[in-house]
Chain A
Amino acid sequence: MTSPANDRRKGSDTAPLLTVDNLTVTFQRRGQEPFRAVDGVSFSVRPGQTVGLVGESGCGKSVTSLAIMGLLPKRGNQVTGTVDYEGTNLLTLSDDDMRDRRGKDIAMVFQDPLSSLNPVIPVGLQVTEVLERHRGIKRKDAMPMAADLLKRVGIPDPNRRIKDYPHQMSGGMRQRALIAIALACAPRLLIADEPTTALDVTIQAQILALLKELVEDTGTALIMITHDLGVVAGLCDEVNVLYGGRIVERGDRHPIFREPRHPYTNGLLGSIPRLDTVGERLTPIPGSVADNLPWDHACAFAPRCSQPVEVCTTNTPTLEESGGRALRCFNPVEVAR
């Protein structure tokens, strides 16, 4: 059903809901060089589409999501570029206007369900709180809606569960509750920041299936932030691979998995265990983010690259678009035929 052609069609017949253009986040700390955590990132999401932001720790994926949500602290952070949500640049909205949109138009699911719920308030009240805030529904009337929402995300016995405190729920159930809270006001864009990292594998699969189902049912656009390529493979229509704050490769899910062009993407794929190649050693990417070169006059990935050429350490590669894919590399991986 989800052939690549189908994916592309789903993404291309509607106007984008959210367009991020040249988003740059600079951390400015006194006595230190300014650090660009996100460096000219551009991508867009259409209604019903799932876009993945993939990369290792410190590549700027979470900072990107917080910048879109306007949740970065004002002090010490400079955010430039545009985040266009149906014609409105979210970055220029006032704090109050942005607060009215968060939770209503854009919602977010966080990484750690154990600590993302308020421990002293029953889960039901945390759902109704959003309904009260954005839809002006009285708590009494919001309670049955909260139970419905919990039921929709697959929490059994929701009428009893709405009175539970977070510590009385399992990790998977808490993540379901968080998703219910995020979806309470039917936002048109959902940002999921590694929603499955803190969960065990079987629960991960359930949560991903749930997200997929909800996105398909409601036409919500989903930005999926993850370091887990398995998550990407199962869920995303389009994949953006981030490295050192910049997008290094973009493409639809199937082409990118079948023919990774950037050595980093290729390395990521090479470092996942596979079921069909028993006994083969994994090939990890050597080094760490600490080895990065500055993008200003080199490719940041060059020191860890499997196939660097001389120009990689002297010039900055640009993101070249061709045939629905984009690539930032001087010496891309040859497509194996």
Chain B
Amino acid sequence: MAYAYLFKYIIIGDTGVGKSCLLLQFTDKRFQPVHDLTIGVEFGARMITIDGKQIKLQIWDTAGQESFRSITRSYYRGAAGALLVYDITRRDTFNHLTTWLEDARQHSNSNMVIMLIGNKRTQSAFPWTGIICIYSHKLTSLSAIFENVDLESRREVKKEEGEAFAREHGLIFMETSAKTASNVEEAFINTAKEIYEKIQEGVFDINNEANGIKIGPQHAATNATHAGNQGGQQAGGGCC
């Protein structure tokens, strides 16, 4: 319940790239392929541990629809981290990244950590792969292969392209799957690590709430044991 820091995140990106799914997977560890369009913004929160410290992530999952743009911009303010999501099976969502990035940079603080996420969309062209999963765990790996084959065949944006874009704009990059939960944890946690490092380096003024960081009520910092890195493993990136 008590946390050392609270980070505010925003999730942005085109509509339908799986922003809400990512959030749900991260906060509730479940996947819900069908859900309502996000109106304005929805919220999620979860506690993570970094460097032995409890950190609460307060996540603002914004609406991706173009018509909500002017509204969602209002929500950017005071975010410490942003997850910029595109769909690796839809090139247009990748092409729009620049606009999103400009928006984010313009409406939030300059130190905001941005994680670029290539999410993979979920519908499978092989409906029976799911059935196999249910009936036989042994076949799971098989179905995973099918799915990957399926995915790769529909992939429109190469991982290298995402990496290049991230490098060019100074972002962190990962490919995730909200469905299989692959790299989802890591995406959120690595962003938090980056923010945490920036705090340690003194880049963030934690006393300024406009930075999206709040010190927890507990000030746990003083006596926190360095329990090492419990915050999930460093993930290489590719999930496919």
Q: Do A and B bind each other?
A: no
| Residues in chain A within 8 A of chain B (CB atoms) | none
